[in-house]
Amino acid sequence: MAFRWLAIAAAGLVAMAQAGPASAYLFWFQPSFSGGPVVGDEPGLGLAMPKATPAELKAHMLWNMRAGLNVAALQCQFSPILLTVPNYNDLLAKNAVELNSAYKLLEAYFKRTGGKTWQKAFDQYTTKTYNGFSTMHAQLGFCETASAIGRDARRLNKGKLTELALNRMREFRNSLIPVGDMIHARRHIYIPAEQVPPMNKQCWDKKERLKSQCAVGRWGMAASGGGTAG
């Protein structure tokens, strides 16, 4: 009997694992951090970029995604299966041209808006952007999301990294909000109450079958369908 229950429990754990996303490693049921595409000037995506052009905003999003994946490569090494280090190294090697173009656009933005102290402003922007992805309480969600984004980046052709940043940056930022495993989420299960048939002797025949006139709820269906009522 004990072996049987252990087998059932193991089967349950396997079923739970299969029910979750195949790409989730740190959760049984991964939280949803999903968010729609962005332009780059929406609140909560990083530092404000006043008077930035559409091209500069795209560079801003790409640089934010790069910074986030860099932080993940440092913070998420506790779980090598996430591949945050090789994902980031691949991103740098394969997308050097696109990343360099984004850097030049950001440099031009700070030269245009920062005056004589533009270099200091640019350096502060870089530091604050990196620090903005540092997390402890939301580390699992952040690392899981960074891993997924990094894997997607590896599958992309050259020149598509900015598009990925625009599509995934809201999700990336959402992952910085502490959320627990959804296996612990409160679920409301509604179980219909069965009506109990009368227990008095008049409702039961000699073979202990419920008489049709006493049937209630599902008992009535069973009695009429089975043809066993006396």
| Residue 135 sits in the same domain as residue 222 | no
Of the candidates 38, 75, 76, the one whose C-alpha atom is nearest the C-alpha of residue 58 is 38
Q: In terms of domains, do 225 and 144 share one?
A: no
pLDDT at residue 199 is higher than 90: no
In this predicted structure, what is the pLDDT of residue 202? 76
Q: Are residues 207 and 177 in the same domain?
A: no
pLDDT at residue 47 is higher than 50: yes
Q: Please give the residue range of the domain that contains residue 230.
A: 195-230
Own/partner contacts of 19-23, CB < 8 Å, gap of 24 or more, are 23/147, 23/148, 23/151
Domain membership of residue 74 (yes or no) is: yes
With a pLDDT cut of 70, the percent of the chain lying above it is 70
**13 in a domain, yes or no?**
no
CA distance 125 to 114: 11
Quick one: DSSP state of residue 213? Answer: G
Within a domain: 145:
yes
Q: What is the mean pLDDT of the chain?
A: 77
Whether 162 has a pLDDT exceeding 90, the answer reads: yes
Q: What is the mean pLDDT of residues 161-190?
A: 75
In the prediction, which pLDDT does 85 show?
Answer: 95
Same domain for 118 and 42, yes or no, is yes
| Alpha carbon separation from 103 to 67, 153, 170, 228 (Å, rounded) | 12, 18, 21, 82
Clarify whether residues 125 and 217 are in a common domain: no
Asked if the model's pLDDT at residue 166 lies above 90, the reply is: yes
Question: Which of 184, 206, 221 is at the close of a domain?
Answer: 184
229 DSSP 8-state letter: -
User: How many domains would you assign to the chain?
Assistant: 2
Of 12, 65, 44, residue with least CA distance to 183: 12
36 and 150 part of one domain: yes
- Whether 228 has a pLDDT exceeding 70, the answer reads no
Predicted confidence (pLDDT) per residue in 107-147, tens digit: 999 999 988 899 999 999 999 999 988 877 778 888 988 99
Mean pLDDT calculated for residue range 40-51: 90
Q: Is the pLDDT of residue 165 over 90?
A: yes
Confidence check: pLDDT of 81 > 60: yes
Quick one: tokens of 148?
Answer: 């997924």
Q: Quick check: is 8 in a domain? A: no
pLDDT higher than threshold 60 for residue 40? yes
pTM for the model: 0.66
